[in-house]
Amino acid sequence: MDKLSNTQCKLLTNYVDKLRQNIVQSSKMEEWIIMLRLHYKWCLGDRISQYNQQFIQGEYSDLRTRASASPLTCFVSKNGATGEPWKDTKNSKNPRRSAGDIQITALPQLKTARPWYAGIDSTVLQQNVKRLDIAYKNFFEGRGFPKFKNPSNFTSFTYTMGMKSSGSKIYLPKFGWMRFYNSRPIPDGFRVKAATIRQRQDGWYVSLRIEDKTVPDVVARCLTEVKSVIGCDLGIAKLVHLSDGYQLANPKFGNNKKTFGFLKIRQRRVSRKVKGSNKRKKASQKVGRLHKKIADKRQAYQWWVAKTITSGRVDAIALEDLNVSGMLRRCRVKRDEETLRFLANGQSRKKGLASRYL
115, 140, 165 - which closes a domain? 140
> What are the tens digits of pLDDT across the range 1-47?
344 444 444 577 889 999 999 999 999 999 999 999 999 999 998 88
Around 102, how many Cα atoms within 13 Å sit in the side-chain half-sphere? 21
**Residue 63 domain boundaries:** 26-140
Would the pTM of this model clear 0.85, i.e. be above it? no
Mode of pairing for the β-strands spanning 247-249 and 203-211: unpaired
Q: Please check the confidence at residue 311 and state whether its pLDDT lies above 80.
A: yes
Give the pLDDT band (50/70/90) at residue 322.
confident
Q: Is residue 213 part of a domain?
A: no
Together in a domain, 135 and 233? no
Contact call for residues 287 and 266 (beta carbons, < 8 A): yes
Together in a domain, 121 and 30? yes
122, 140, 158 - which closes a domain? 140
CA dist 96 and 84 (Å) reads: 9
pLDDT average, residue stretch 188-214 = 89
3-state secondary structure of 15: strand
Together in a domain, 246 and 334? no
CA dist 271 and 148 (Å) reads: 25
Contact call for residues 273 and 279 (beta carbons, < 8 A): yes
> What are the tens digits of pLDDT across the range 234-286?
877 888 888 888 899 988 898 888 999 999 999 999 999 999 899 999 999 99
Q: Please check the confidence at residue 81 and state whether its pLDDT lies above 80.
A: no
Together in a domain, 315 and 353? no
Q: What is the phi/psi pair of residue 349, to 5°? A: -75, -20
> What are the tens digits of pLDDT across the range 136-172?
999 999 888 999 999 889 999 999 999 988 889 999 9
User: For the chain, what percent of residues have pLDDT higher than 90?
Assistant: 41
State the Cα angle at 221 between 218 and 225, rounded to 5°. 150
pLDDT (0 to 100) of residue 7? 42
Mean pLDDT taken over the chain = 82
pLDDT (0 to 100) of residue 6? 41
pLDDT (0 to 100) of residue 58? 59
Q: Is residue 73 part of a domain?
A: yes
Contact call for residues 43 and 135 (beta carbons, < 8 A): no
Q: Is residue 4 part of a domain?
A: no
Q: Is 93 exposed, middle or buried (0-12, 13-18, 19+ CB in 10 A)?
A: exposed
CA dist 231 and 244 (Å) reads: 8
Q: Is residue 180 part of a domain?
A: no
Q: Is residue 168 part of a domain?
A: no
pLDDT average, residue stretch 76-99 = 58
CA dist 101 and 158 (Å) reads: 18
Q: At 205, which amino acid appears?
A: Y
* DSSP state letter for 178: E
Q: Please check the confidence at residue 50 and state whether its pLDDT lies above 60.
A: yes
CA dist 219 and 352 (Å) reads: 43
* 284-304 per-residue burial string, b: 16 or more CB within 10 A, e: under 16: bebbeebeebbeeeeeebeee
3-state secondary structure of 109: helix
pLDDT (0 to 100) of residue 76? 41
Locate all alpha helices (DSSP H) within the chain, ordered by sequence: 23-51, 99-105, 107-113, 122-140, 257-272, 278-310, 324-328, 353-357
CA dist 213 and 9 (Å) reads: 10
pLDDT (0 to 100) of residue 68? 58
Q: Please check the confidence at residue 67 and state whether its pLDDT lies above 50.
A: yes
Q: Is residue 220 part of a domain?
A: no
Together in a domain, 352 and 262? no
CA dist 223 and 199 (Å) reads: 46
In the chain the first and final C-alpha atoms are separated, in Å, by 38
pLDDT (0 to 100) of residue 62? 56
Q: Please check the confidence at residue 190 and state whether its pLDDT lies above 70.
A: yes
109, 140, 171 - which closes a domain? 140
Together in a domain, 70 and 129? yes
Contact call for residues 192 and 208 (beta carbons, < 8 A): yes
- C-beta pairs of 107-110 under 8 Å, 24+ apart in sequence: 110/39
Contact call for residues 54 and 143 (beta carbons, < 8 A): no
Q: Is residue 89 part of a domain?
A: yes
Together in a domain, 309 and 336? no
Q: How far is CA 195 from the centre of its chain?
A: 14
Q: Is residue 3 part of a domain?
A: no
Together in a domain, 235 and 275? yes
pLDDT (0 to 100) of residue 186? 86
> What are the tens digits of pLDDT across the range 101-138?
888 988 998 999 999 999 999 999 999 999 999 999 99
- C-beta pairs of 353-357 under 8 Å, 24+ apart in sequence: 353/236, 353/327, 353/328, 354/328, 355/255, 356/236, 356/237, 356/252, 356/255, 357/236, 357/324, 357/328
pLDDT (0 to 100) of residue 342? 85
Number of structural domains, the chain? Answer: 3
